[in-house]
Structure 1
Amino acid sequence: MSRRRILIMGAAGRDFHNFNTLYRDNDSVEIVAFTATQIPDIDDRKYPAELAGSLYPDGIPIYPEEKLVELIKSEKVEEVMFAYSDVPSQYVMQKAQLVNSCGAHFTLAGAQPTMIKSTKPLISICATRTGCGKSQTTRTV
């Protein structure tokens, strides 16, 4: 049985979390790449093999998002998972249209399958956009 070929779009946060909670040891899928934007100097690197698990002994390449269309075609990507946490819905739908026009499925992960059960009490620091003060609040708490 061939593995379903998936590319994960992200910004070095939710994308890596989704990979680890949904796909890390899942031999029915192959994560062919991550794309990155927003974070300087992360593209053209690799998600380390030590974190990627035994199915990815060479790690997983990270490409600039500008190469999305090219990657869908060259890597025969069947599905693109969108894993950003703070972008307008119009941006999401524009990416969905682009991905679908290239022949791949466009998906979003649901909250429940990506949640990690805590063994300790916790406080969640949330905001509706970047720049609201989450980091400063977290440091204070």
Structure 2
Amino acid sequence: MFSFNRCTQTLRIWESNYGRDAGWNIEQHGAVIATLSDPQPGDMFWDHYRIDIVTDDERLRAEMGTDEFWLNAESAGLVFRNRVFGEVAKNAFPSHPPFDTDGRIHMRALYLDIRPPMPWDWLLLYFRRRTADKTGEPSDARESPS
């Protein structure tokens, strides 16, 4: 069955580069320990993110600065959750070593896994972009909440 809200969310995910531009929370055991923002494309299939550690746990903050912590990200129970859509990137993982010289973290598969746009979806995206260009706000920002 067609859901207008689901259709709108899918359009917004595509517009945000599959969630990359919306930012990410890194969670451990349900608590947010860091945020990722400002994605920059890197080598093929890799993106570089600015990382802001937000946990108050000093021991964890120190561990997060080590390569070993990120090498064991999956066993440490890290979850990468999109900050806007609340969905989890199930296959995301950091590189080894994880950080570049600027302190940005390299991530792979950090995106929301949805189908690619079909030709008619590109038309909707085009008209949404044109509407946003004329009004200065995204087209779904004017829609009434349901």
- TM-score after normalising by structure 2: 0.25
- Which of the pair has more CA radius of gyration? 2
Structure with a larger share of its residues in strand: 2
